[in-house]
Amino acid sequence: MTAPKQSARADVRALATPLLSLASEPYYHATGEEVAVFEAAAGRCLPVMLKGPTGCGKTRFVEHMAWRLKRPLVTVACHDDLTTSDLVGRYLIVGDETVWMDGPLTAAVRAGAICYLDEIVEARKDTSVVIHPLTDSRRALPVEKRGEYLVAPPDFMLVISYNPGYQSVLKEMKPSTRQRFVALDFDYPEAETEARIVAHEGGVDADTARLLVKLGSLTRKLKGAGLDEGAGTRLLVHAAQLIAAGMAPLTACTAAIARPLADEADTRDALDDLIRAVF
Among 16, 36, 129, 277, binds another protein (CB under 8 A): 277
Q: Does residue 164 bind another protein (CB under 8 A)?
A: yes
Q: Does residue 43 bind another protein (CB under 8 A)?
A: no
Give the burial string for 169-191 (b: 16+ CB within 10 Å, else e): eeeebeeebeebbbebebebbee
Q: Are strands 140-143 and 148-151 parallel, antiparallel or unpaired?
A: antiparallel
| Residue 57 vs 89, nearer CB to another protein | 89
Q: Does residue 15 bind another protein (CB under 8 A)?
A: no
* Contact call for residues 193 and 60 (beta carbons, < 8 A): no
- The DSSP string of 86-113 is HHHEEEEEETTEEEEEE-HHHHHHHHT-
Among 10, 93, 245, 248, binds another protein (CB under 8 A): 93
Q: Nearest-CA neighbor of 227 among 53, 19, 10? A: 53
Q: How far is the CB of 145 from another protein (least distance, A)?
A: 9
Binding characters for another protein, 111-130, by CB under 8 A (x = yes): -------------xx-----
* Residues in Cβ contact with 33 at an 8 Å cutoff, skipping those fewer than 6 apart: none
Among 109, 134, 204, 270, binds another protein (CB under 8 A): 270
Q: Does residue 33 bind another protein (CB under 8 A)?
A: no
- Tell me the one-letter amino acid at 40: A
Q: Give CA–CA dist 35/266, Å, rounded.
A: 41
| Residue 90 vs 200, nearer CB to another protein | 90
Q: Does residue 219 bind another protein (CB under 8 A)?
A: yes
Q: How far is the CB of 83 from another protein (least distance, A)?
A: 7
Q: Does residue 168 bind another protein (CB under 8 A)?
A: yes
Q: Give CA–CA dist 86/202, Å, rounded.
A: 35
φ and ψ at residue 75, rounded to 5 degrees: -110, 130
Number of residues that bind another protein (CB under 8 A): 44
Q: Does residue 32 bind another protein (CB under 8 A)?
A: no
Q: Is 209 helix (H, G, I), strand (E, B) or coil?
A: helix
Q: Does residue 176 bind another protein (CB under 8 A)?
A: no
| Residue 40 vs 277, nearer CB to another protein | 277
Q: Does residue 144 bind another protein (CB under 8 A)?
A: no
Q: Is 184 helix (H, G, I), strand (E, B) or coil?
A: strand
Interface ranges with another protein (CB under 8 A): 1-3, 8, 81, 83, 85, 90, 92-96, 124-125, 164-170, 172, 214, 218-219, 221-222, 224-226, 228, 265-267, 269-270, 273-279
